[in-house]
Amino acid sequence: MQLYNKLSAKERAELIEKAGQERLTLSFYQYAKIGNPQILRDHLFLTWNALDVLGRIYVATEGINAQLSLPADRFNEFKTHLDTIDFLKDIRLNIAIEQDNMSFLKLKVKVRKKIVADGLEDDAFDVTNKGVHVAASQFNELIEDENTVLVDMRNHYESEIGHFKNAVTPDVDTFRESLDIIEEDLREFKEDKNLVMYCTGGIRCEKASAYFKHKGFKNVYQLEGGIIEYTRQVNDQKLENKFLGKNFVFDDRRAEKISEDVIANCHQCGAPCDTHVNCANEACHLLFIQCESCKEDMDNCCSTACKEIHALPYEEQKELRKGQGNSNDIFKKGRADYLPYKKDLRNIFETLKK
């Protein structure tokens, strides 16, 4: 019985190209109490592998978080299967704004301690005691209210290329960092301000809204379905789009264009640019923003040192990496000191306190 992926990304890409079928990229999440995540994990892998589903799925005792792609003509089969699972019946599926057949090249279904890492004890608060969900039209009204504080619950490299106008964008690397920072910096607004949050698809806001209610915030709201669902509703209902730039996504597309605004800059030359790339030096792999001109000049690398290593024969590169371990830059997102136009660290809450 096959319970794990056996094909490489290259082999899978060749099969997708040969099949010539259109694929759908989508995501969903659901908080629920799951007694044995491993049993559910194996069941999902066996069923979805047969449907040619590819993606990254996390299962935990607190629920499921899924980002995946599948052949468009098998969508109904997939949805029918979801409906056979009680806590996934009629779940909202966030269909990607921009489709790409190569968005995922492997099926990975993993059991995790949590579907959203938060650094909190499991019994710290009730994750089901969430904030008020609002659709795009009400969200637009709320964020124009002077009594509202709008907070981006994503990480700095996500909000750097796209965010809602007037949003507070915490300069954090992880979700777990943002919880205490936001609670501390907005503590004086707990009683009288509307705390409105948004993220990519809603999963981080779901947990954050419950956390901030637990911490004493009285008026907590979250954007239903996140930026993905907001964009769909804006397009379908002809609403004003208040999102600027791109929505960062965690697959090989890296981003979806929501508006024509380019609000970021190349980390190497400072030119307007919002395209994330990974450094071509495999020992570095830093995620950063790079324009086409710098991409050509730097041979897809983040620094001169990496460019020199990347120019070496591959076997020499492997020899250099032996026994060295990975560079810490692998875990960074545009933070390297040698990038002159990286996002500056700053206290983005100061204006709220004046």
Sign, CA dihedral 237-242-245-250, equals: negative
Known catalytic membership, residue 199: yes
Cβ 24 vs Cβ 70: under 8 Å? yes
Q: Give the residue carrying structure tokens 């299967």.
A: 81
* Selection from 27, 239, 209, 230 nearest residue 125 by Cα: 209
Question: Residue 351 in 3-state DSSP?
Answer: helix
Out of 199, 266, 279, 284, pick the active-site residue: 199
Beta 194-198 vs 219-223: how paired, if at all?
A: parallel
How is 305-338 classified by DSSP, letter by letter? HHHHHHTS-HHHHHHHHTTT---GGGG-BS--TT
Tell me the backbone φ, ψ of residue 12, rounded to 5 degrees: -65, -40
Question: Residue 54 in 3-state DSSP?
Answer: strand
Which helix or strand (DSSP H or E) is residue 181 part of?
helix 175-185
Tell me the backbone φ, ψ of residue 196, rounded to 5 degrees: -115, 130
Residues with a known catalytic role: 199
